[in-house]
Structure 1
Amino acid sequence: MNALGNTGFQDMSIDHVTLYVEDLDAKAAELARTYGLEVYATAVAEDGARSAAVGRERIRLVLTEAVADDHPAAVYTRLHGEGVADIALKVPDAAAAFAEAVRRGAQPAAEPAEQDGVTTASVMAFGDVRHTFVQRHEGVPGDRLPGYVPAQGHEPGAPTGLLEIDHFAVCLEPGELQPVVEFYERVLGFRNTFTEKIVVGSQAMDSEVVQNPSGMVTLTLIEPDTRREPGQIDFFIKNHGGAGVQHIAFRTEDIVRSVGTIRTQGVDFLTTPATYYRMLGDRLRLVRHSTDRLAALNILADEDHAGQLFQIFTRSVHPRRTLFFEVIERAGATTFGSGNIKALYEAVEAEQQG
């Protein structure tokens, strides 16, 4: 594609993720208690919202609650409920990244602005989700956010071993997959790293993975196949009110420890039929963990050409049953566990047949 020049697209990484929420205090407390995150900064914006930054290791989530009916967070939550509004990207030069993205066809959302030694600028991505370019000037702490002050009186949750955001899963409306892939390739210099059609019984979906050159920003883009029966992607689009982030995957180096801790702290995970684990040995030879330990926690296992992965999904507590989280451990694998979709379907079929 186009030369990346000095925009810093090739070196970008995830800076933080902004979620618009309806009850800031409750959501911040929940993430601290269950996922071991810490409220480290807060802000009261002049435009009618209050925010808190929570995080641990390389995970940073910004929670924003509207206190004015015309604030974007209020508009967003009325349409979608709580969800991801901005995937912010750290770059060496936010103004240059913004100018180049707009030159390549991105829709501008917020012009470059500097505050507290941090320059930001935003473009639209998919649905109502933005990408904000973030540049911190020399001497500015790596977690500084413009307009935020250090939080007081918040106890961090117990560590859970979650390290960073591995990827985002994005549900797109029919016909949007190729235009969104093309946007990431043409505008942000991403590359398409994996393409797959997933067929499960009478349902099907098309998936393409886009990733920036450094490998630090990865999105799995999914579109339903409307020639088949409606499935989970159709469900998300209907209940979310359009395209959006279905789940955020957090990476860990020990999924058994992380999931055990998070579950003890109150998170409910999806369960897996016992037949899945009885059939697991026919699919692969585990390089980490034992089948019994995986089964005890309902953790899934899969492998690709590069290695294995272990993953589990939380049960959505969203009122619309849309946004949820994933915990993933990679033992070399570079894909996203699509083999588990087929394996789970076959396990359920076997269980139903006795």
Structure 2
Amino acid sequence: MKTSIATVSTSGELPEKLEAIARAGFDGVEVFENDFLAFDGSPADVGRMVRDHGLEITLFQPFRDFEGMPEPLRSRTFDRAERKFDVMQQLATELILVCSNVSSAALGGIDRAAADFHELGERAAKRGLKVGYEALAWGKHINDHRDAWEIVRRADHPNVGLILDSFHTLSRKVDINSIRSIPKEKLFMVQLADAPLIDMDLLYWSRHFRNMPGEGDLPVAAFAAAVADTGYDGYFSLEIFNDQFRGGSTRSIATDGHRSLIYLADQVRRARAVPDLSIQPMPPRAIVNGIAFVEFSADEEEAADLVRMLETLGFQKEAVHRSKDVSLYRQGDIRLIINTDRHGFAGSSFAIHGTSAYALALVVDDATNALERAVALDAEPFCQPVVPGEVEIPAIRGVGGGVIYLIDDKSNLGRFSEIDFLPVEDETEVVSAHLLHIDHVAQTVAYDEMPTWLLFYTAIFEAQKTPMVDIIDPAGVVRSQVVENASGLLRITLNGAENRRTLAGHFMAETFGSGVQHLAFHTDDIFATAASLRQNGFKPLAISPNYYDDLEARFGLDTQLSDRLKAENILYDRDEHGEYFQLYSPTFGEGFFFEIVQRRGYAGYGAANAIFRIAAQKKHLRPDGMPKA
């Protein structure tokens, strides 16, 4: 697959855009006219700059309000076209995009439009240029690619072809099977964009809410597969209009774009009966069978505080590392590692973020394949020196620059704790709290980073994203989406913070970036767990008694159950699948916390309870973020 992206898709000035696009690995770039006009250099300068980055200018765009104009407007459109052709020749690009007319002066008629394009094709041919026609979803007379194709067909000129845009086709729910009958030589360019499903004006939706394939809800993969079935072997190019992207990181947006196209190509390759050999194969998405461990970075003083909290939760030290200042704590299938070593990446992470859950290890079906796929999708591999004889675990960089280790049962990876750690006898008197496994990991990110990490997880791992929900914080709204797999063995909640007054925003501001803000542990009996926690000296997050009065009325709970919930500070929710119980620790440090949950068929994450939990947690924070004594 040959990849391209329109300069309008990224933030920044033109030189910055081109540098990021090239670094991300694209083959070509569409030059959007406004980006060119805002640049001080000549068209020839722009062309040289593009080629110096190893890119090809795949398209110059857009040329608006051309076909079907009455005189004297018609003559002026051809004059304008000649001026655009002048620029294109200096840029050294051969294709221009003409989008369907939206002018109130435009006249309808397929034959009239075809005649205009035939003449434009004649003029373009004299200069060795080509014209691509695209149906805008809001075009006055032409808003369907099938009508645009009929105009191109009747124009009957080798220098006039069709440009398809997934947004324009999918937003109007045009049958994508119609694409398969278009001759591949008449497809001059294919543009791709996804979008969340929102019921609004098409133009406004397009101009503000497009995103990368895989980040929205449109069937872009099915669209691309239909294109591939024509035999099309040209560029697949991203054309994204998005308010968040315009203010985001130029480099991150470009990287996301390239990742989205590589992932899309893999989807198309797997969907077709005859695989497209032009698409580089990669291993399938990795199946996640659980979380092997979560690793914290800390110094000795804060590690001691963290250990005391873990002990109240029923964790005991099981082992210490052979060569590093690292301890392993365990309960049920939950492994928590505390790393106070100052010489490795954990030490660097602590220096920047303070005590944090900087790494997690996923149990996958094949760690080697998972790493290969991740790297093919532009993930950054991670490695650091290990002592001979110790296990070197494949890993990639994740949210906030943290680490995701990839572990399977092959070779020695599944035995890393036996090989790298020495068992110890923990003499601390701790009562097990009946915690069985990690239910979910909650990562807090900047809101504009959420599409990045949703795409990252769903492209690499066999998982899907849930619809976005609003988490109400007394100081604002936090947007939340979940990446989960069908087995429930992978659940990662992504919470997007927009202001630092929210608990999530405070956590990000005080820890200097995105990261894991809380871990949720699963129990089969929340009340038995609460009783054991009391024996260990655990002090739960205190929930307002008003919450329980409303809870009883809202769900019609038995008074005895309501009283038990209130006595233990357990929150409750219910959906059509079942019940959910939640018990929280107070905050640790700058807003990190632990959660204990019991699911009885419940599919969600207790979003309705978030406002009460957050209000209670904020009472445990001083203005500087440190926990109260």
Relative to the length of structure 1, the TM-score reads 0.84
Aligned to 2:554: 283
Letter in 2 for 1:98: L
| 2:336 corresponds to which of 61, 81, 84 | 61
How far 1:240 moved relative to its partner?
1.3
What do the CA deviations read for 1:250-269 (whole angstroms, capped 9, x no partner)?
11111122123213312222
Distance in structure 1 (CA, Å) of the matches to 2:413 and 2:287: 22
> Structure 1 pair 237/267, CA: closer, same or farther in 2 (3 Å)?
same
1:340-351 correspondence to structure 2 within 5 Å: 340-342=609-611
Matched, 1:13 2:282: no
Aligned to 2:299: 22
Distance in structure 2 (CA, Å) of the matches to 1:232 and 1:164: 26
Aligned to 1:293: 564
| 1:331 corresponds to which of 594, 600, 621 | 600
> Structure 1 pair 345/9, CA: closer, same or farther in 2 (3 Å)?
closer
Secondary structure of the corresponding residue to residue 325 of structure 2: strand
Segment of structure 1 superposing worse, 282-291 or 297-306 = 282-291
Matched, 1:233 2:504: yes
Secondary structure of the corresponding residue to residue 262 of structure 1: helix
How far 1:67 moved relative to its partner?
3.9
Distance in structure 1 (CA, Å) of the matches to 2:306 and 2:321: 13
How far 1:337 moved relative to its partner?
0.7
Secondary structure of the corresponding residue to residue 197 of structure 1: strand
1:297-312 correspondence to structure 2 within 5 Å: 297-312=568-583
Matched, 1:75 2:386: no
Aligned to 1:197: 470
Matched, 1:43 2:318: no
Letter in 2 for 1:336: Y
Distance in structure 2 (CA, Å) of the matches to 1:100 and 1:287: 51
Aligned to 1:105: 378
Letter in 2 for 1:233: A
How far 1:29 moved relative to its partner?
4.9
Distance in structure 1 (CA, Å) of the matches to 2:412 and 2:341: 32
What do the CA deviations read for 1:122-146 (whole angstroms, capped 9, x no partner)?
0011103211011344698767354
1:39-188 correspondence to structure 2 within 5 Å: 39-45=317-323, 49-68=324-343, 71-110=344-383, 120-137=393-410, 144-152=417-425, 154-155=427-428, 157-188=430-461
Secondary structure of the corresponding residue to residue 460 of structure 2: helix
Letter in 2 for 1:17: V
Q: Is contact 1:89–1:134 with CA below 8 Å preserved after alignment?
A: yes
How far 1:193 moved relative to its partner?
2.6
What do the CA deviations read for 1:42-68 (whole angstroms, capped 9, x no partner)?
1143xxx41111102110111111244
How far 1:273 moved relative to its partner?
1.4
What do the CA deviations read for 1:300-336 (whole angstroms, capped 9, x no partner)?
1111221110102111232xx3211001111211111
What do the CA deviations read for 1:254-287 (whole angstroms, capped 9, x no partner)?
1122123213312222111111111112221448
How far 1:120 moved relative to its partner?
1.6
How far 1:167 moved relative to its partner?
0.5
Tell me how many residue pairs correspond in the alignment: 338
> Structure 1 pair 333/194, CA: closer, same or farther in 2 (3 Å)?
farther
| 2:542 corresponds to which of 271, 295, 305 | 271
Segment of structure 1 superposing worse, 34-43 or 239-248 = 34-43
RMSD: 3.1
Q: Is contact 1:95–1:120 with CA below 8 Å preserved after alignment?
A: no
Segment of structure 1 superposing worse, 304-313 or 236-245 = 304-313
Q: Is contact 1:42–1:151 with CA below 8 Å preserved after alignment?
A: yes
- Which entry has the higher C-alpha Rg, 1 or 2? 2
How far 1:153 moved relative to its partner?
5.3
What do the CA deviations read for 1:62-82 (whole angstroms, capped 9, x no partner)?
1111244xx322221122111
Distance in structure 1 (CA, Å) of the matches to 2:482 and 2:531: 29
Judging by fraction of residues, say which structure has more helix: 2
Segment of structure 1 superposing worse, 140-149 or 208-217 = 140-149
Q: Is contact 2:288–2:490 with CA below 8 Å preserved after alignment?
A: no
Structure 2 unaligned blocks of 5 or more: 1-263, 271-280, 617-629
Structure 1 unaligned blocks of 5 or more: 348-354
Segment of structure 1 superposing worse, 338-347 or 148-157 = 338-347
Segment of structure 1 superposing worse, 287-296 or 333-342 = 287-296
Secondary structure of the corresponding residue to residue 41 of structure 1: strand
Aligned to 1:352: none
